Structures are given as structure tokens and as C-alpha cells.
A and B are shown apart, each in its own frame.
Chain A
Amino acid sequence: MSGEPAIAASALSKDYGSGRGLFELDLEVRPGEIFGFLGPNGAGKSTTMRLLLDLIRPTSGSARVLGLDTRRESIEIRRRIGFLPGDLALYPKLSGRVVLDHLAQLRGGVDRRVRDSLAERFGADLDRPVRQLSTGNRQKLGLIQAFMHEPELLILDEPIAGLDPLVQQSFHTLLREVSAQGRTVFLSSHTLSEVERVTDRLAILRQGRLVVVDSLENLRRVAVQRLEIEFAEHVDAGEFRGLPGVKEVDAVGRTVTIGFEGSADAVVKAAAAHEVRAIRPREEDLEDIFLSYYRKSAE
């Protein structure tokens, strides 16, 4: 695979008016990575994906997918990618098998063994009409059609929606295999914990604008950290408020939880003035990072 970005957006915009849409998106997704695209509903995630697939056209800016222009070379792009739309809809009267056969024919045929092994892996029912399937079982068909031709790039809009935990696990394993093969995954979610487990890097989008792009590790580093300190006796939580970097202090009984940015030095030294039974770092989860970026960009 070449070093060319799998996805490169340059000032990509789609203005729907009234502040809705996507604005000046600059984004690069590297080949072989699993890239998470985060944001709440209406943030512009699906709009970005539709622009990449030429389902809708940009108001301004441009994008390249696998080195190809999304407007002029869309057919070649679509040949080489797999796409799962958010809010997936399939022909309700037809069975999963017929739908997958049809979609395979639109690609000029796919290896049936790959399709069948994906169906087995996800436990998909290919014989019942789509309208009789639950949301999760329909989503499995969506995942199979996106992966069955072994594309170089997968663009997945809310792929985990409706999947039960076991299937989610199979899906995550599949993503890692795909990534290990050097293929790229660009997936969106507003359920942060789902993305946290699989992404190499992520972007956070808010109201159509990119807030941040970084690795999870780096995002954690700059985000608010928390220490949970259990004292031998009751300690006045007010002692910690006002210390350099401290953002929030919460006390329950003899345990004080302190959220701070930067160095822990001031917090640890203040705590050392008392008998400390235990210090537990609280694992920062993506939700907190996400919300902290939201707060920052809203300010």
C-alpha cells in the first residue's frame, strides 16, 4: 500500500443553512489505521461520509479517497471501499441472501466463501425476509455487505448500532484483523466506549466543525486526570480547591476525588499532610475527554 492517505479532506464543506452541515473539514486518515470519527447526532459525521461517497456534493472544498478525487473518480472509489450507512435500510421483502447476492452483482461478483464466513462469524440469518429481522440482525447484513469484497477502505457509519455484545466483540476482532492486513477503517460513533476499544486515532466533530484529531493516548494526556485519595480521617475537601491545576474536587466520606490538569505535584503534596490509606488513579475514559472537548469548544 502506498503512503498516500486513505482519506484526505481539504476545507471540505457542505452548508445546509441555519448552521447545519459540515464546515472547512481538514482531515487525513492514514492507510492501515482504524480511525474513529466522533460526535453527537447532527455533528456532521454522516454528512462527511456521504460526501466521500459522492452521495451528496460539497458546497466547497474537496476530498480524495485512496488517492482518487471523490467527484471525478467516484466509481473507482466505490469499487474499492465498503460502506455501511447509518440507519441502514434494505429491501424489506427480500431475504438477506437475495439482497447480498444483488449487492455482490453490483460489484461484479464477490467470493461467496468470504460472504459465507462473515455470515457464520456474525451468526447472520440469510434466509428470512429483511422485514422479519431485528435491527441487530439487519445490521449484521449491513456489515457483511461492507466487508464481503475485502475492500481496501471501510467507511462505517455507526456500525455497532443494535449489535449485541458478543457480535460487537466479533466485529472488533474483525476490525483488528482488517487493520493488521493493512486495510483502513474509518468509523463513526456517538457511543464513545465502542470506539475507545478499537481506534488508533480519532477526531471529534461538533456542530459541523472539527474540534480535535489525535491518538487516544495523547488525548488522555492533555485531558483532566483524576486521583481518588482515601484518607484515614475526614479531610476538608476545600483544602484542594484552589491548588494549581485543580479543576474539580468531590468528597464522599473519607475519600476525596480530585480532577486536575498537568502535574499532580501540588495535589500529592497537599494530600501528604494527612494520613493517606490509598491513592487510586481513575482511568480517564473517552466520555470525559469527549465532554471536556465539547465544553472547551462551546466556550
Chain B
Amino acid sequence: MSLSVTRLTLRLRLTSTVSAAVGLVVVMLVVGALFPAVGDTIGKLDIPTSVANLLGGADYGTITGWFRSEIAVIYAPLVIGALAITGASTAIAGEEEERILALVLAHPIRRSRLVVAKAAAIAVIVLIIGFAVWVGLIAGVAVGGGGITVAHITALAVQLVFFGFAVGALALALGAGTGRRSLAAGGAAAIAIVGWLVNSFAPLVSGIAWLRYVSLFYYYAGHDPLTRGIGATGIVVLGIVALALTAAAVVSFERRDLRV
């Protein structure tokens, strides 16, 4: 790995990462502040199962359900996914399209080390967002009157971070394999969104319920970390996916011509 490459990649994405992290914390404080009012009103609505599934159960009557629907199922994975995908697709394919890599790789650095250094930078970005989610949830839940343990909040943040690793590695692998930023970003985003839909709808249709097991989203939220804590299987699967995709990124990038 090259620390210099990691540092520079982080430096280039620091502003967007910190802005997103601060935004997340603010949103979660607002979501927490809204809970007392929401719990007594829309919390009592009867929502169709399909819609409720999209919203992580849509149990607005409890603070856990409220944060699950508002943050855990939609906002947090959206932000962490967007930052991981943008960062990872720019890191290799973006710099390649901008012709910057033609200069960088004229220096004595192995392509494998470059990919690993870029992956490390994306991992740090994901960790910063994961930490912001953790802090924001603790603060937001406190503002909302409490009711979710720090252990369960930590479980969600950890699960989310591994989801970010896997989605980022997916964009990295697509970018390293093709050298096309839009394909890397679009492909990874499409796979993540389809995964979210599959995880939400597959259980409603008998015969395709098994499909949720191929969704990255299932391994992040399927275990419901805000209620049940860490889901070790999900962590292991997401971790293996992230490592395997990073390895695939290294191998494919080593083998191909730079698009210059």
C-alpha cells in the first residue's frame, strides 16, 4: 500500500465526506426531535405491507421503528453508498479518464499497491460516515426521549460500515476492471438499489423469497441490528464480498492496458 496515495485520495474527498457526516448528524437530531409528535400521529397509521417493507417495517409508533424507517433503511445506506461509490469510481476509473493515472503509474508504484491504497482511502471515508451515523443516532435517540441501547446503535453502525465497504469495493472493482467511471458508479449504484428492492419485495412473493440472500442490503439490514444487535453472518458475508471484490479489482487492473 502507498500511504501517500491514500492520504491524497482522502484529501481530495475530505470536504464532501465531512459535509455529509455533519449533514447526517444534523438530520438525525431533527429526526429524533420529530419522534414525539410523529409517534402519536402517523405512528398509528395502517400502512400496506409492501410499503412498510420498503420502509423497514414502518413502525412509527416506537423510536426504534421510527429510526429504522427514517435512517437505517433509507438515509444512512443512501449516504454511505453514495460516498463509497463516488469515491471508489473516481479513485481508479475517474483518475484514469482524466489521464492523471498515466502520470502516477509512470512512477515506481505497483498497480496492486495503488488499488489497495485507494481501497484504504475509501474504507476511511466509509468509517467516517459510519462514525457520524453512530454519533448522530446516539444524539438523535437522546433528543427523541431515548429507547435504543448504545449497543444496538453500534451494531447498526458496524453493519452499515461493512455495507459501505462492500458497495465501495463493488464500484472499485468495476472501475479497475473497465476504466470507465460512469459504468463503475452507475453499475454499483444499480446493483445496490436493486438489492434494496429485492430485499424489500422478494419476501412478499413466494418462490423468490430466496432472492434476498443475493442482496447486499439483506446482509446489512436483514438482521435488524437496531433491535437484535450485531448480525455476525451479515458482517462476515459483507466482509468477504468486500475483500473478494478488492482482490478482483487488483487482478483486473494488473492485467489490462491503461486507457490513456
A: which residues have CB within 8 A of B?
46, 50, 53, 55-57, 75-76, 78-79, 81, 83, 85, 87-91, 93-94, 102-103, 105-108, 142, 145
Q: Can you pick out 7 interface pairs between chain A and chain B where the beta carbons lie within 8 Å of each other?
A: A56-B260, A78-B105, A87-B99, A89-B98, A91-B12, A105-B4, A107-B107
Question: Which of B8, B102, B109, B257 counts the most A-chain CB atoms under 10 A from its CB?
Answer: B102
Bound CA span A297–B100, Å: 35
A85 near B108 (CB under 8 angstroms)?
no
Number of interface residues of B (CB under 8 A): 21
Q: Chain B residue with minimal CB distance to A57?
A: B257
- Check B182 for interface membership: any CB of A closer than 8 A: no
Q: In chain A, what residue has the closest Cβ to B104? A: A106
For residue B8, which residues in chain A have a CB less than 8 angstroms away from its CB? 91, 94, 102
In the bound complex, how far is the Cα of B8 from the Cα of A87, in angstroms?
22
In the complex the two chains form, is A85's CB within 8 Å of B260's CB? yes
Q: Kindly provide the distance from the CB of B229 to the nearest chain A CB, expressed in whole angstroms.
A: 41
Those of B1-51 within 8 Å (CB) of chain A? 2, 4-5, 8, 11-12
B103 contacts partner chain A, Cβ-Cβ < 8 Å: yes
Complex contacts, A102 vs chain B, CB 8 Å: 4, 8
Please determine whether B102 and A78 come into contact, CB atoms closer than 8 angstroms: no
Instruction: Indicate if the CB atoms of B110 and A55 lie closer than 8 Å.
Output: no
Contacts of A87 in B (CB 8 A): 99
> In the bound complex, what is the Cα–Cα distance between A76 and B98 (angstroms)?
26
Contact A107 B260 (CB under 8 A): no
Is B205 part of the binding interface, using a Cβ–Cβ cutoff of 8 Å?
A: no
B108 contacts A75, CB within 8 Å? yes
B231 to A: closest C-beta gap in Å: 39
Closest to B4 in A: A105
The interface residues of chain B lying within 8 Å CB-to-CB of A106 are 2, 4-5, 104, 107-109
Are B99 and A53 touching (Cβ within 8 A)?
no
Question: Contact: B98 with A78, CB < 8 Å?
Answer: no
The residue of chain A having its C-beta at the shortest distance from the C-beta of B15 within the complex is: A93
Give chain B residues whose Cβ lies under 8 Å from the Cβ of A79: 108
- Complex Cα distance, B107 from A104, in Å, reads 9
With A81-B106, A90-B103 known, 14 other A-B pairs at CB within 8 A are A53-B106, A55-B105, A79-B108, A85-B106, A85-B260, A88-B103, A89-B98, A89-B103, A91-B8, A94-B11, A94-B12, A102-B4, A102-B8, A103-B107
For the complex formed, measure the closest distance between the CB of A286 and the CB atoms of chain B, giving whole angstroms.
28
Q: Which of B84-120 contact A (CB under 8 A)?
A: 98-100, 102-110
The answer to the question of B235 belonging to the interface, with a C-beta cut-off of 8 Å to chain A, is no
Given contacts A55-B258, A56-B258, contact A83 B99 (CB under 8 A): no
Chain B: minimal CB distance from A74 (Å): 9
Q: Which residues of A have CB within 8 Å of B4? A: 102, 105-106
Task: Give the residue name and chain of the B residue nearest to A49 (CB).
Answer: B106
Residues of A within 8 A of B257 (CB): 55-57
A56 surroundings in chain B (CB, below 8 A): 257-258, 260
Q: A50's contact among B11, B104, B108, B260, by CB below 8 Å, is which?
A: B260
Q: How far is the CA of A105 from the CA of B109 in the complex (A)?
A: 10
User: Which of A55, A76, A105, A108 sits near B106, CB closer than 8 Å?
Assistant: A55
CB neighbours (8 Å) of A75 from chain B are: 108-110
Q: Do B260 and A83 touch (CB < 8 A)?
A: no
A50 and B258 CA atoms in complex are apart in Å by: 9
Task: Report B227-252 CB contacts with A as 1/0, cut-off 8 Å.
Answer: 00000000000000000000000000
